[in-house]
Chain A
Amino acid sequence: MDNLKEKAFQDKIDQDTRIEPKDWMPENYRKALIRQISQHAHSEIVGMLPEGNWVTRAPNLRRKVALLAKVQDEAGHGLYLYAAAETLGVSRDDLIDQLHTGKAKYSSIFNYPTISWADMGTIGWLVDGAAIMNQVPLCRCSYGPYARAMVRVCKEESFHQRQGYEILLTLSRGTEAQKQMLQDSVNRWWWPSLMMFGPSDSDSPHSAQSMAWKIKRFSNDELRQRFVDACVDQARILGVTLPDPDLKWNEERGHYDFGEIDWDEFWQVVKGHGPCNKDRIETRVKAYEDGAWVREAATAYAEKQAKRKEKVA
């Protein structure tokens, strides 16, 4: 019976019919989606922290309102995605718990520190740029609620990248010290940004199945290559050097060749030994616990109002 169902399910996917929450789906499809969507949601939530660091220190009001709006968008993106994950039968509470106990992963990029104002620009340009490259194909993902959430996310993400690039453009036209700050920031963020696409196809355990289920549309290496190709000209306009001596145009392939990624560093950060892993989760848990009284008060108020209504009726 399940074999028949599974075949009908795969036929639907092959015909590009979207899967909706109440439709039958293989348990592993459900699990894979919960893992991916919740990791994605957690990344948006933790992704607010490196930038939160600079909200009070933005150089002027224009930069400050933009940064605040961006951080608020990221909270929103986390909420769209949690809601999409919940359509698969997990509770919000469990998802948050998995993040706080370290059971669930989030994007490793947010375990790097933001030590200069230029990092706000570089995160917008490279980190959000890489995220967009990953996210645009997800708008056509086979699971309806995830795809729809991604359409909203992608619409808003483009502002993030442009505001970051504008910060860097301003620095690139500034003093020598500002130009140095820009170059230093790009030096630190370039390689971790390339790691955002995940391990090479041959080392990516879930990739093949995700492609067959059309959760994923392009391979990690394919998207990484597109990102490198897009960044080279953007770097030139900023007048920065991308920190890779092997980066050069390959006429035959029609793409830029680039150097080997330090996968040891990647796995170290994934496993929790990055510069800020501990700090990020501690900050997150503290924020959640400090907010507990607000949630409790809102619950109590809602109950009181409901009782009052009952009495009147």
Chain B
Amino acid sequence: MKDWPLYEVFIRSKAGLHHRHVGSLHAADDTMAIEHARDVYCRRNEGVSIWVVKSDDIVANDPAESDALFNPAENKVYRHPTFYDLPDNVKHM
């Protein structure tokens, strides 16, 4: 039998936190993907909210091109607070 579509599963472990990728699973449709995600990834109260999305629908950058994508941020030290010299007697900053 042909495999069912692959879904990526994201779980919010408690209110106030981001959903986080926890793994993937196969399901015949969206409803079954949620049910399987509950059984596979939430057997011990690991979540209060589940997102599932078909893996094919995720758009990702090409890792072979990741240098060109991320390098520009490397030499911009002035974007960090520690770049700026202040005397020790300046408090609360």
Residues of A within 8 A of B (CB): 20, 22-24, 69, 72-73, 76, 79-80, 83-84, 86, 91-93, 148-149, 152, 156, 292, 295-296, 298-299, 301-302, 305-306
The answer on a CB contact under 8 Å between B3 and A92 is: yes
A84: B residues at CB distance < 8 A: 23
Q: Report the separation of the CA atoms of residues A92 and B4 in the bound assembly, to the nearest whole angstrom.
A: 9
A93: B residues at CB distance < 8 A: 1-3
Residues of B within 8 A of A (CB): 1-4, 6, 22-26, 28-29, 32, 39-40, 43-44, 60, 62-64
Cβ 8 A contact of A24, one of B24, B25, B64: B64
Q: Report the separation of the CA atoms of residues A302 and B28 in the bound assembly, to the nearest whole angstrom.
A: 6
A84, closest chain B residue (CB)? B23
Cβ 8 A contact of A299, one of B4, B25, B40, B60: B4
B21, closest chain A residue (CB)? A148
Give the shortest distance, in Å, between A138 (CB) and chain B (any CB): 16
A292: B residues at CB distance < 8 A: 1
Most buried by B among A91, A148, A302: A302
A288, closest chain B residue (CB)? B1
The answer on a CB contact under 8 Å between A83 and B25 is: yes
The answer on a CB contact under 8 Å between A148 and B32 is: no
Q: Report the separation of the CA atoms of residues A299 and B6 in the bound assembly, to the nearest whole angstrom.
A: 14
Give the shortest distance, in Å, between A131 (CB) and chain B (any CB): 19
B3: A residues at CB distance < 8 A: 91-93
B28: A residues at CB distance < 8 A: 295, 298-299, 301-302
A292, closest chain B residue (CB)? B1
Which 9 residue pairs of A and B lie closest in terms of their CB atoms, listed nearest first?
A302-B29, A302-B28, A298-B28, A22-B63, A83-B24, A92-B3, A93-B3, A299-B28, A79-B40
A79: B residues at CB distance < 8 A: 25, 40
A152: B residues at CB distance < 8 A: 22-23
Q: Report the separation of the CA atoms of residues A152 and B26 in the bound assembly, to the nearest whole angstrom.
A: 19
The answer on a CB contact under 8 Å between B32 and A76 is: no
25 contacts across the A-B interface (CB closer than 8 A) = A20-B63, A22-B63, A23-B63, A24-B63, A24-B64, A69-B43, A72-B43, A76-B43, A79-B25, A79-B40, A83-B25, A84-B23, A86-B24, A92-B26, A93-B1, A152-B23, A156-B44, A292-B1, A296-B1, A298-B28, A298-B32, A301-B28, A301-B29, A302-B28, A302-B29
